[in-house]
Amino acid sequence: MNPVIDLLFSHRSIRRFTEQPIADALLQEILRAGQAAATSSFLQGATIIRVRKPESRSKIAAWSGNQVHVEKAAEFLVFCADLKRPGNACREYGKPFAGDYTEHFIIATVDVALMAQNVVVAAESAGLGICYIGGIRNKPAELAELLALPAGVYPVFGLCLGYPDQNPEVKPRLPLEVILKEEIYNEDGDAQRVAEYDQRVREYYATRTGGGHGICWSEQVASLLSEKSRPHMRQFLADQGFTMK
């Protein structure tokens, strides 16, 4: 084991932060570490918007499901997939812009995820805590207006950064044997492994700091996937120019 792997194994979502600010020099270094992530075809299709105004933070917190840590964290960043900037390059060189294809949407979105995870690892290595906020997609049109997002740009998720004011347990992940397949996709033995994992998750939720709901992973994801989830996103993406040709 090495310190980087140890750090990755210690990841937790932090939702309570101290009032200590993050030094600008440290924040800039963390974001440059994000830029060092892999990027498909050198697209660099990600833009980060740093939201500092309290009134903007308050709106985003409410839109995200009243997640107060959006307001309380030292920094709140919105990670956006950005095809506007490469579209500018097309115009500069007199080339047609085909950024409304599904593949371009995918590579820009993947670029965002890779950059953000680099930011997270860099932040945690500096003693900071983080919390991803997918809830910004509850009200994407309102957020796009607030942040003046042009066509070709959409908000993928938010990220809270700050010094932790809590020490939650690490949430157990699925057994590696369930997600790692040899040569082909097969589910041999997975049912038993998932059942044993479900029991671990029940125990985690029942005993973690502050208590919990005590349900298992399978029940949690079954509830998630049995209901509509942000059906407005398809039209919003189309409105932003991501027509998925």
Residues 27 and 97 in one domain: yes
Alpha carbons 49 and 61: distance in angstroms, whole number: 15
Q: How many domains does the chain have?
A: 2
If one counts every other C-beta atom within 10 angstroms of the C-beta of residue 168, the result is 15
CATH number at residue 122: 3.40.109.10
In a domain, residue 81? The reply is yes
Indicate whether 129 belongs to any domain: yes
pLDDT attached to residue 47: 98
For 227-238, the pLDDT digits (tens) are 999 999 999 999
| H or E, element range at 73 | none
In this prediction, residue 88 carries a pLDDT of: 95
- Give the count of beta carbons closer than 10 Å to the beta carbon of residue 45: 27
Q: Is residue 243 part of a domain?
A: no
User: The whole model's pTM is what?
Assistant: 0.95
Same domain, 83 and 115: yes
Rounded Cα distance, 8 and 64, in Å: 26
What is the C-alpha separation between 229 and 44, in angstroms, rounded?
A: 28
Does 147 share its domain with 99?
Answer: yes
Residue 110 lies in a domain: yes
pLDDT at 164 over 70: yes
Instruction: Name the CA radius of gyration of the chain, rounded.
Output: 20
- What is the average per-residue pLDDT within 201-216? 78
Q: Is residue 164 located within the same domain as residue 178?
A: no
Q: If pLDDT is split at 50, 70 and 90, which confidence band does 207 have? A: confident
Indicate whether 145 and 71 sit together in one domain: yes
Is the domain of 126 the same as that of 176? no
Q: Which domain holds residue 105?
A: 3-168
Q: Is it the case that residue 8 has pLDDT exceeding 60? A: yes
What value does the mean pLDDT take over residues 73-100? 94
109 and 151 in a single domain? The answer is yes
* Alpha carbon distances (Å) from 244 to 26, 114, 142, 240: 38, 21, 22, 11
pLDDT digits (tens, 9 = 90+) for 117-158: 999 999 999 999 999 999 999 999 999 999 999 999 999 999
Q: Does 54 share its domain with 123?
A: yes
Share of the chain above pLDDT 70, in %: 98
The 10 Å Cβ neighbour count of residue 170 is 11
CB-count exposure of residue 184 (10 Å: 0-12, 13-18, 19+): exposed
